[in-house]
Amino acid sequence: MNKNDSFNGLDSFRIVAALMVVAIHTSPFTSLDTTADFIFTYVISRIAVPFFLMITGYFSLNKCLQDRETLLKFLIKNSKIYLMAIILYIPLNIYAKHFVQGNLPVDIIKAIIFDGTFYHLWYFPAVITGVLIVYFFRKKFNLKTTFTITLLLYLIGLFGDSYYGLISNNPYIAKFYDGIFSVSSYTRNGIFYAPIFLVMGEIIALRDSKISKPKYLTCFFTSLLLMVLEGLILYKFQIQRHNSMYLLLLPCMFFLFQLLVKYKGNTSKSIRSITLWIYLIHPIMIVVVRGIAEATNTRNILINNSFLHYLAVSSLSICFSSFIYYTMNHREKNTFHKGRAWTEIDLNALRVNVDTIKELLPPSCEFMAAVKANAYGHGAIRVSKELNKLGIKAFCVASILEGISLRKSGVSGEILILGYTHPKQFYLLKRYHLTQTVIDYNYANQLNDYGKSLPVHIKIDTGMHRLGENCEHIPKILGIFHMKNLEVKGIYTHLCVSDSHQSDDEAFTKLQIEKFYSVVQAIEEQGIVCPKVHIQSSYGAINYPFLQCDYARIGIALYGVFSEKDDSEKYSIPLKPALSVKARIQMTRQLSCGESMGYGLQFTAKRNTKVAVVSIGYADGIPRCLSNGMGHVLIRNKRANIIGRVCMDQMLVDITDIPDVQPNDIATIIGESGDERITAMDMAEQANTITNEILSRLGSRLEQIYLYK
């Protein structure tokens, strides 16, 4: 899935699709021309519901396949919406005298499972059933086979819908469909209709199309015109039992969706929510418009004129849906996240850094994002989701719990655990579709003894002597490939001095690389197809970009900084720091010359001094060694020294030479203020450590605010 950080085309078309659904239930051109109304309402507008199903397949299906809890969340969410809609439409059902004849319990069950308790609510049981069916087939078969099965289901449904007239005279086939109609009024349901569009959404999500927008546009309009022709032929010969399913609907939707994916721009959560509400409440608005027409004696305008009726229903639906959305989200929008201390993460900076690093690497090398340690303090879940949007589908973490957290949050793609996972947790690897590192031959045996197929990457020790099977133990490495329960998807090593340009270190790095490729050669000489290889981390990619690897594990550089400040001057690589740290000034106070303050009374004023108490401390990740003037912050575009000891929750800064500082002002600990700037690299240098440590130790109390600067 090659995605940028936006889906403007998809989001914008949601409104169009929602208004098409309104058109299906209001027939806007009936009073003008019945054929024109048929073409627009019962042919062209039939792309609306498949579009929504493909949206689900595109964004949700693969995540559901990788994590059962994500599937469960999806089912619960849609079931709650469906239940709310059922309750919402009880008064209208009573008013319309639905469910007053026949076998009431059976009719209600049939409506809930297939037809919907009101005419438009069939979508919710359809999407729930469809996802479950596709999930079942995808667990049993590959995507191609699943597509074939769902296509066959669609074709079966087609002859119970638009092509029913072709088979209705055959008593045996007609009896088969009568059996279907006894439990579901239409074949337009979660069994025959929804699955194919869900699968098509997943297919588009997984493919990286290079075809241009004009070609997709041409293909879409061609298939749409052919579908209109198909619909008119079926209409003329009165073949249709219903008119939701067409043969040409499939290519039409494929080309339309591919086209919309190509259009990038700012996304809108409000559009997504408002379109859902339009879908839910537009039948109520139809009743409201009719009521207004009766009350104001304007039937000729608001009812008999089908187009004005459609405009009135659409306008009311949009207005009420917008009102509901903004009312429900008013409290959320007013939630304040900058009360004490917080980080600001620029998601556009991540995109810049990804593009910058990709330019260093060979085109065939895939970006594997290191999001361990909460993405180096940047928030692993949000960062990983953003990277998913950028087309990145490979991640590495340190522990199984980090991997599970990503899966539970819907992050898709390969998640490689770099560290040790206890044998009692092996079942979690299977449950959450995580890839485990084989840290040595003995550990491989433990993984194999688990008895179920597990995807793994083999770690090779080429000289760091931390984790990994020794590169000289070729028979053991080959033995891992022959373990029946291990699906070896990758093999890698770690360069321990790739950041250094000292001649001895460069020679050692070269030796590590040679040792690793000798292992790869030995594997291939045994007739084993070598899996994906990866060697470089951030500095490996920067200093050895020419290496032909399948992955590069990018950590610190992804976040726009180097491990040491000097490196930012050595390399002319335009990385953009993504993170800022800020905190509130709680109060200011005057300190007379000779007075002391703070723990241990470490600071004694040598002049009358004005002090600000800043609401951040070492529990938030500020190194305690920055006490007593070793570190500083930015306030009102000027530097202020940290004085006294950094406390757990607070620290003191000297603001004597900064006028007009007030309580509630903001102190910038990492970031920019005017022309002044403190980077994480600056702080690391002051603390005599590396940037990686500074960022990864940022505390969980810091609220994370995500921006697109």
pLDDT digits (tens, 9 = 90+) for 138-186: 999 999 999 999 999 999 999 999 999 999 999 999 999 999 999 999 9
Q: How far is CA 530 from CA 70, 436, 517, 549, 605, in A?
A: 33, 17, 11, 12, 67
Q: Are strands 394-397 and 366-370 parallel, antiparallel or unpaired?
A: parallel
Q: Is 372 a catalytic residue?
A: yes
pLDDT band at 2 (very low <50, low <70, confident <90, very high): very low
Q: Is the pLDDT of residue 332 over 70?
A: no
Reading the block at residue 218, the tokens are 């041409």
Q: How far apart are the first and last CA of the chain?
A: 25
Q: Which of 46-55, 202-211, 524-533 has the lowest mean pLDDT?
A: 202-211
Cα–Cα–Cα angle for 561, 563, 642, nearest 5°?
85
Helices (H), 101-239: 104-110, 123-140, 143-158, 171-183, 194-206, 213-236
Q: Which of 371-375, 430-434, 464-468 has the lowest mean pLDDT?
A: 430-434
Q: Compute φ and ψ for 547, nearest 5 degrees.
A: -60, 135
pLDDT in tens, 386-424: 999 999 999 999 999 999 999 988 899 999 999 999 999
Contact 82, 125 (CB under 8 A): yes
pLDDT in tens, 433-463: 999 999 999 999 999 999 999 999 999 999 9
pLDDT band at 3 (very low <50, low <70, confident <90, very high): very low
Distance CA 676, CA 146 (A): 58
Contact 479, 441 (CB under 8 A): yes
- pLDDT score at 563: 97
Number of separate helices (H) and strands (E) present in the chain: 29, 20
Distance CA 60, CA 55 (A): 8
pLDDT band at 334 (very low <50, low <70, confident <90, very high): low
Q: Which of 78-87, 284-293, 322-331, 466-475 has the lowest mean pLDDT?
A: 322-331
Please give the average per-residue pLDDT across 25-34, as a whole number: 96
The owner of tokens 């919402």 is 88
The owner of tokens 């950080």 is 5
Q: Are strands 609-614 and 579-591 parallel, antiparallel or unpaired?
A: antiparallel
Please tell me whether 648 is known to bind a ligand: yes
pLDDT in tens, 105-123: 888 999 999 999 999 999 9
Exposed, middle or buried by CB within 10 Å (0-12, 13-18, 19+), for 52? buried
Q: How far is C-alpha 354 from the geometric centre of its chain's CA atoms?
A: 17
What single-letter amino acid sits at 615? S
Rounded to the nearest integer, the mean pLDDT of the chain is 95
Q: Is the pLDDT of residue 206 over 90?
A: no
What single-letter amino acid sits at 41? T
3-class secondary-structure state, position 553: strand
For 499, other C-beta atoms within 10 Å of its C-beta total: 20
Question: Which is the catalytic residue, given 326, 427, 599, 708?
Answer: 599
For 199, other C-beta atoms within 10 Å of its C-beta total: 28
Strands (E), 493-608: 532-534, 551-554, 579-591, 596-597, 603-604
- pLDDT score at 208: 77
Phi-psi category of residue 563: left, alpha or beta, with phi > 0 → left and psi -120 to 50 → alpha: alpha
3-class secondary-structure state, position 313: helix
Handedness of CA 576, 582, 588, 590 (dihedral sign): negative
Q: Is the pLDDT of residue 103 over 90?
A: no
Q: How far is C-alpha 39 from the geometric centre of its chain's CA atoms?
A: 37
Residues in Cβ contact with 20 at an 8 Å cutoff, skipping those fewer than 6 apart: 44, 45, 47, 48
- pLDDT score at 4: 39
Which has more confidence, 410 or 273? 273
- What percentage of the chain's residues is helix, strand, coil (to nearest 5)? 55, 15, 35
Helices (H), 450-502: 474-481
Tell which residue, 376, 343, 369, has the closest CA to residue 691.
376
Contact 347, 577 (CB under 8 A): no
- pLDDT score at 333: 60
Helix (H) or strand (E) segment spanning residue 638: strand 638-643
Exposed, middle or buried by CB within 10 Å (0-12, 13-18, 19+), for 666? middle
Q: Which domains does the chain have, with CATH numbers?
A: 43-265 (no CATH), 341-570 (3.20.20.10), 579-678 (2.40.37.10)
Q: What pTM does this model have?
A: 0.77
Cα–Cα–Cα angle for 373, 377, 378, nearest 5°?
115
Please tell me whether 466 is known to bind a ligand: yes
Question: Which is the catalytic residue, given 63, 358, 372, 459?
Answer: 372
Q: Compute φ and ψ for 641, nearest 5 degrees.
A: -70, 140
